[in-house]
Structure 1
Amino acid sequence: MSASTMAPTQQALAGAATSQPPHFVLVPLAAHGHLIPMVDLARLLASRGARVSLLTTPLNARRLRDGGVTDKAARAKLLLEVVELPYSPADYGLPPDCQNADMIADNAQMLPFFLALRELAGPFEAYVRALVPRPSCIISDWCNSWTAGVATYLGIPRLFFQGPSCFFSLCDLNAAAHGLHERIAAAEDREPHVVPSMSVSVKVGNGRPHGFFTSPGCKELRHDAVAAMRTSQGVVINTFLDLEEKSVACYEAALGKPVWTLGPFCLHTRDGDDMASRGGNKSGVSERAIVTWLDKQAPESVVYVSFGSVARKLPKQQFEIGHGLEHCCRPFLWVVKESELASPEARMWLESLEARTSGRGLVVRGWAPQLVVLSHRSVAGFVTHCGWNSVLESIAHGVPVLTWPHFADQFLNEQLAVDVLGVGLRIGVTAPVMILNDDAAAPVLRGDIARAVSELMQGGEEAEERRRKAKEYGAKARKAMEKGGNSYERLTQLIESFRHGGGKDNEHCSGVIA
């Protein structure tokens, strides 16, 4: 339809659409490790002039507002809003506040949690339908397959956000293409399988974690997620080309869609307050107190220990970690979840450890400002669960990792860090644990922990080579995010690609849909 034959209202709306910034609707998974990078992506897009709406559950929206996300965006004159979607987990037998994966109390709640999230499809559709004009692009987490139907029906371009590394994403895609997930799920098939078309030997099987929605009962969830991936227009990944160039090229070819490598997102968060408040959680130890303690330590002497937001360790394993850190005789900063200190025995033991290691060790109960810690000059190593955010944040700040994976993508992220990039050292875990409170069967012992930490932090040719590679990748990460860098320019291309998007036809911009 030409401009001369448009109705006056359509002409006005079309003119307004061309003068308005592109509008990206972001729909993260309601889990801390998926939410944080999507918030960073929202800030990135808004800082480059786009309008961004981030849709999440009421609990997460409140956390983000309490963390200052919207206030800081307003002060910076960024077009960034946090939108609450009504959510009723109680309909699936969950507590009303179970609106983030970190609120799940036991493993039996995991599947109902993901099933309940599908109910967000209705409020999501109502929100998108009410937008005039239609958004330019929807970016939704790979796990949020319920966004696909709405985007397809309304003709809105949709990208999926893949939270793990590109190395993992390629492995998962190749495994699916060769039917490995189905063969592994068969009760009689216990042998590990080599994933074809990988740069290093990768094996998956019942004893080796191999992705998301691969547990019993999750077949439908995985089927829907894969179908939604296939109907998308591409994928956004929090990585950078100099880190995963071969995997990116192979993944793009196998997927048959553009792979937008825009990271590391965390390097856009340079402001001290933003670095401290990512995720909106609070801690019993203030950021000032943490920095003051770090300032007192020698340069590159501290090992940082944190296992992400979901995995929780039983007291038996906590005791081994604490004794291992005590025996390694290195300064340490250890993050312990409040949920891991439920028993009086655990609390008393930890207080005793703190007294014995006073000055050399700092225990943070609840949450630590991870970027503040990793960017501090005194930190030289990170004991991590190998969630991709943590691995990438450590690499971006030039800090080598001691890998202790638990589930999902984490063992493959470990393989990337250790075998491909050369920035990691294995603590020696070979079997997965269930997501919550399930490490009693095969705990990592204090002697192994002490030896591994000492090996990570000591001198010697191998340790120095890990540090050199980590610093080298850190420099490349900063360059990627600077103007002229690959990630910076890819973000420019992404925004321009969707500048004139927004729904099937102009008539849909009127908000009247059958």
Structure 2
Amino acid sequence: MAAAAATNSPTAPAEPHVLVIPYPAQGHMIPLLDLTGLLASRDGLRLTVVATPATAPLLAPLLAAHHRVRALVLPFPSHPSLPAGVECAKDAPPTLFAALVVALAGLRAPLASWARDRSGTPDRVLAVLADHSCGWAQPLAAELGVPGIVFSPSGDELSEAVHRNFLWNLEASAFVSNTFRRLEERYLAAPLADLGMKRVHAVGPVAPAGPDAAGGRGGETTVSAGDLCAWLDRFTEDGSVVYMNFGSTAVLQPPHAAALADALERTGVPFVWAAGTTAPLPDGFEERVAAAGASGGRGRVIRGWAPQVAALRHRAVGWFVTHCGWNSVLEACAAGVAMLAWPITADQFVNARLLVDELGAAVPVSWGGLKAVPDADEVARMLDAAVRGNGGRERGDVVARAKELAAEAAAAVREGGDSWREVEELVRVLRNSASEPAAKTVSDS
């Protein structure tokens, strides 16, 4: 396969060179790109990020912001189960997850060839940092004789087709996770047996918290952050608006969307619903809520990619109806927004249990996923209790805990904080790989 690399500007050849391999799903790719930006902001590392033609545009903000980062664009490997042109999870149904994982492993050979061409030069690869869905990157690292490090943006369900891929990750020298110590303290306090007792670097939240967080992460936003925030400015009462988003992969079925829409119309709760491009909203719903209330409506539906971080950080947003995907969890925690948990699939149920049962920062809406449709009356009761304070002390405690998590997340990423120190340690590990290359081998079987 031919490869095309784009470099922003010349970089000092003495800096250790790290190969970054994302998995082509927005929930995986965005946090790894955020982590790459954090690493690039420290002195002493160069990073090359692997992409395919479909995912290359997502790298544009990162390449513009960091001269130490470049892109390596490779053709996507073909697979008999994948339709032509499908290169990322948003274009493939969940049933093709295994095929996407297996197909992506076809990048191993061209990456090995690309890296070997640089061996013995100042541009040689000295470490591989890869998403946990790219387990094949660990035997690649062993083949190159360099350390392999696994980045875990979330948990995933396993199937036999990808079982070997995940087992490869146990051969990594360390794990990096988009979390922070106070969020999962009981799990990070000691090495985990199911991760082979390897070191876990808790470096999150990795999403930027400043002006750059407004939009553009993961694709062009349908509505600009400025436009959405101007609309939210109309609501003078802090915390009076509900923000809703079920992610880019799991799509609500018509009965679920109808129950939520019905509850919103019954309660009259102000809301922003980031509904994606395919959410099956009831006929006339968008027009009715846009016309209700004062000028500009009391509800807003966003089709396509939404500036979620900007929405969550707006003072008018007090609750987040979420599928509990890990990126959304971290962004809500960093913003101090209480959550109404509605997990749909995969790791979302575990994430919701953490939020509800252990952290007390969320209230469950439904545990039924796509199999059970919650009653619209119950959803309406939950919304009304949360936004209008009719839930008593329990709801107040959840809001207070969400604010505490925001303070803890901010402290973690501040200079000297737990996550800040973990990033510094990860940079040290990657830089030391220049003088201490891995000597291990990994079986391909």
Q: Within 5 Å, give how 1:40-439 maps onto structure 2.
A: 40-49=34-43, 50-65=45-60, 68-73=61-66, 78-89=67-78, 91-104=79-92, 106-131=93-118, 132=121, 133-164=123-154, 211-213=156-158, 218-226=159-167, 228-252=168-192, 255-266=196-207, 269-283=208-222, 285-297=223-235, 298-340=237-279, 346=282, 348-356=284-292, 359-430=297-368, 432=369, 439=370
1:136 and 1:503 in contact (8 A); partners too = no
Percent of residue pairs bearing the same amino acid type = 32
1:91-150 deviations in whole A, cap 9, x for unaligned? Answer: 42433331111111x444333222222212222222322333432321111111111111
TM-score (norm 1): 0.76
SS at match of 1:468: helix
Work out the CA distance in 2 between the residues paired with 1:156 and 1:347: 56
Give the CA RMSD over aligned residues.
2.4
SS at match of 1:305: strand
Equivalent residue, structure 2, for 1:457: 387
1:25 and 1:139 in contact (8 A); partners too = yes
Counterpart residue type for residue 249 of structure 1: A
1:438-479 deviations in whole A, cap 9, x for unaligned? Answer: x3x522232222112223334321111111111111111111
Cα displacement (A) at 1:361: 0.7
SS at match of 2:182: helix
SS at match of 1:242: coil
2:224 and 2:307 in contact (8 A); partners too = no
Work out the CA distance in 2 between the residues paired with 1:251 and 1:243: 16
Work out the CA distance in 2 between the residues paired with 1:26 and 1:264: 19
Work out the CA distance in 2 between the residues paired with 1:260 and 1:46: 17
Work out the CA distance in 2 between the residues paired with 1:251 and 1:295: 46
Work out the CA distance in 2 between the residues paired with 1:81 and 1:19: 14
Any gaps of 5 or more consecutive residues in structure 1? 1-16, 169-210, 433-438, 507-514
SS at match of 1:92: coil
Work out the CA distance in 2 between the residues paired with 1:360 and 1:113: 41
Change (3 A) 1:150 1:365: same
SS at match of 1:30: coil
Cα displacement (A) at 1:276: 1.0
TM-score (norm 2): 0.88
2:238 and 2:316 in contact (8 A); partners too = yes
Counterpart residue type for residue 324 of structure 1: A
Work out the CA distance in 2 between the residues paired with 1:88 and 1:152: 22
SS at match of 2:278: helix
Work out the CA distance in 1 between the residues paired with 2:282 and 2:85: 26
Work out the CA distance in 2 between the residues paired with 1:496 and 1:119: 31
Work out the CA distance in 2 between the residues paired with 1:31 and 1:326: 33
Work out the CA distance in 2 between the residues paired with 1:45 and 1:346: 45
Equivalent residue, structure 1, for 2:433: 501
SS at match of 1:340: coil
Work out the CA distance in 2 between the residues paired with 1:128 and 1:502: 15
Equivalent residue, structure 2, for 1:205: none
Cα displacement (A) at 1:502: 4.2
Normalized per residue, which structure has more helix?
A: 1
Equivalent residue, structure 2, for 1:490: 422
Moved more, 464-473 or 308-317: 308-317
Equivalent residue, structure 1, for 2:377: 447
1:326-360 deviations in whole A, cap 9, x for unaligned? Answer: 2222210101121235xxx8564433443346521
Give the length in aligned residue pairs. Answer: 418
Any gaps of 5 or more consecutive residues in structure 2? 1-10, 439-445
SS at match of 1:276: coil
Work out the CA distance in 2 between the residues paired with 1:426 and 1:253: 30
Counterpart residue type for residue 129 of structure 1: R
1:342-395 deviations in whole A, cap 9, x for unaligned? Answer: xxx856443344334652111111111111011111111101001111111101
Counterpart residue type for residue 53 of structure 2: P
2:147 and 2:437 in contact (8 A); partners too = no
1:244-266 deviations in whole A, cap 9, x for unaligned? Answer: 12111244465311110111111
Equivalent residue, structure 2, for 1:38: 32
Equivalent residue, structure 2, for 1:23: 17
1:157 and 1:502 in contact (8 A); partners too = no
Work out the CA distance in 1 between the residues paired with 2:375 and 2:108: 45
1:398 and 1:470 in contact (8 A); partners too = yes
Counterpart residue type for residue 17 of structure 2: H
